[in-house]
Structure 1
């Protein structure tokens, strides 16, 4: 099955037009620190500076803008651990559409508060994203609201793919792009955009060791759920990837690796201390992978872009990360 049956470069270019005056073109900045420790030319695509603090705004706005008049009148509903929720909430507010969001009870309080702050009705249900998703679909069927899938939707994927176009606008000779994966919408869109321009660009996905449904599916050659324990990369804690996104990833992504919670915490600290970037756990997945020894062949001597997917993190989490490393330094 070819990816162009789902999303084409034309769809991504159309999404770019839709988002032209509504989403931010986020910075692509060189990280001299990461460049020095990896022997690569490392750039950070700072989607933590996107509206709502995450790349999710792109896909949400592109999808909602494309709804029919009748669909808009009935309102929309979405499920999310936080970032898709905020993207849907703000997009709905800007487009004058009523929205309801189902979030896991374990979602970070900062994301819950922000979603409500954008005007959405928030329903807390279940301990995981997948439990919240089941409840969301149930409500959609009862109310007639349009269900907005967080990743397994062509319009959402096309919106996320605009990140790939922005990378090329700034750096046409990119060799490797490292992308966090949850359900797969982000990496699917970016892979289509970049490989439509140059099939030799390497796309590397990264997930947490604790939850990596896409990697387990990628390795098995078929959708294979995976969930062991919670992860600080809560924005990417998806046990079962999408059907569409899995098909795209299977065809276009070169490799998927996992990182530990310790590696994630280190990456969050380094981005804060050395990169002056506030990021959530999911946002640090790409740099955690970069400094590991798992993708050296894709990195050394290459032009590398790490997608910093989001910055919606509780202050308590930042405090815990800082305290952990401060305590370690005292002990040493």
Structure 2
């Protein structure tokens, strides 16, 4: 009998070695303007420059690369609102196999087109009436495909944690690490890396106000389900945290901050105008928490994971136009 957690620092390090040379080692941005505004030294890990435009490729490739040759040859299935879809599609292409992706029918067109562009077959469903997990599992079983879920998988979580691992390797010890929370995979992997390297690091998750399932779950001490969130942060529109990710995050996450859609828009505009970088709404939520003062007792050195930048010019203008 062992109390080994589902994902460890060694797992994250192993994932880092596996994705090296395939995933990008993304840049860390530092802005004196941002430091002055928030009163801390802030280091921004720019996962919008990752392959497929988001951190998701890290976990998708780490998981896909561990399939047996027989599993890989049959193909891969996934369900996703966009970024994980693109990540699995690209991972499958890198491995010379095929992917079938279940996506909500209201997924931004740019994300659907990008997923198809990597060679995946797309099957759609209604996110407000359908259970994507059940539908995805049924699709994979029917076609004999290996299912790689967006966060409920130890290899996916370990892969996502490599973003935080790289950030800390470059910046040294951080007083706090701030990352977005959707299903909880990036948060679980990031927290595992951060606490594993420096247990005193304060780990802070950020959710949209309309989708605070993880905040409620941590407060209740058990997973809480909420109605499907309606927020511009579509990558964080989770009804409940994952069982596996919550088992990690309830141990390692110190607090959850909430931001509203207007604060997210303001952060996207700030990143575009002052940092010269493009963020999708979910990728901007940690920056929104800093800029809006949602984080209390902000420590001296803060690492922030900007999780993605997959947004079309038209959608960006709709959300952030003057």
Measured after TM superposition, the shift of residue 129 of structure 1 is 9.8
Report the Cα offset of residue 211 of structure 1: 1.4
- 1:22 match: secondary structure: coil
- Within 5 A, what are the aligned runs for 1:137-216? 137-216=137-216
Distance (Å, rounded) in 2 between the aligned partners of 1:305 and 1:168: 8
- Within 5 A, what are the aligned runs for 1:1-332? 4-128=4-128, 131-227=131-227, 229-297=229-297, 299-300=298-299, 302-323=300-321, 326=322
121-130 or 178-187, larger mean C-alpha shift: 121-130
CA deviation map 1:194-240 (0-9, x unaligned):
11111001110000111122122111110001236411110111111
Deviations 1:263-315 (CA, angstroms, capped at 9, x unpaired): 11111111111111111000001011112333221x25x11111100000122
Relative distance call for 1:144 and 1:129 in structure 2 (3 A) is farther
CA–CA distance in structure 2, aligned partners of residues 34 and 316 of structure 1: 27
Inter-CA distance 15–191: structure 2 relative to 1 (3 Å threshold): same
- Alignment RMSD: 1.7
Q: Residues 129, 61 of structure 1: CA spacing in aligned structure 2 closer, same or farther, 3 A cutoff?
A: farther
CA distance in 1: counterparts of 2:54 and 2:131, whole angstroms: 23
Distance in 2, Cα, partners of 1:207 & 1:18:
30
Closer/same/farther in 2, CA of residues 124 and 2 from structure 1, 3 Å limit? farther
1:118–1:185: structure 2 CA closer, same or farther, 3 Å change rule? same
1:2 offset after TM fit, Å? 9.0
Shift of 1:241: 1.1
Structure 1 position 133, deviation (Å): 3.0
Shift of residue 254 of structure 1? 0.5
The corresponding residue for 1:330 is: none
Please, which runs of 5 or more residues in structure 2 have no aligned partner? Answer: none
Structure 1 residue 131: deviation in Å? 3.1
Report how many aligned residue pairs link the two structures.
Answer: 322
Residues of 1 paired with 2:93 and 2:185: CA distance? 23
Contact 2:164 2:305 in 1 (8 A): no
Measured at CA, do residues 279 and 233 of structure 1 come closer, stay the same or move farther in structure 2, by a change above 3 Å? same
Q: Could you say what secondary structure the match of 1:296 adopts?
A: coil
TM-score, normalised to structure 2's length?
0.96
Q: CA shift at 1:66, angstroms?
A: 0.3
Change (3 A) 1:3 1:322: farther
Question: Aligned partners of 2:258, 2:18: CA distance in 1, in Å?
Answer: 34
**Partner secondary structure for residue 279 of structure 1:** coil
Change (3 A) 1:191 1:292: same
TM-score if structure 1 supplies the norm length?
Answer: 0.93
Query: Once the two structures are superposed, what CA deviation does each residue of 1:93-118 show, in whole Å capped at 9, x if it has no partner?
Result: 01011110000011110000000000
Deviations 1:234-269 (A, max 9, x none): 011111111110011000000012111111111111
Q: 1:171 to 1:56 in 2, by over 3 A?
A: same
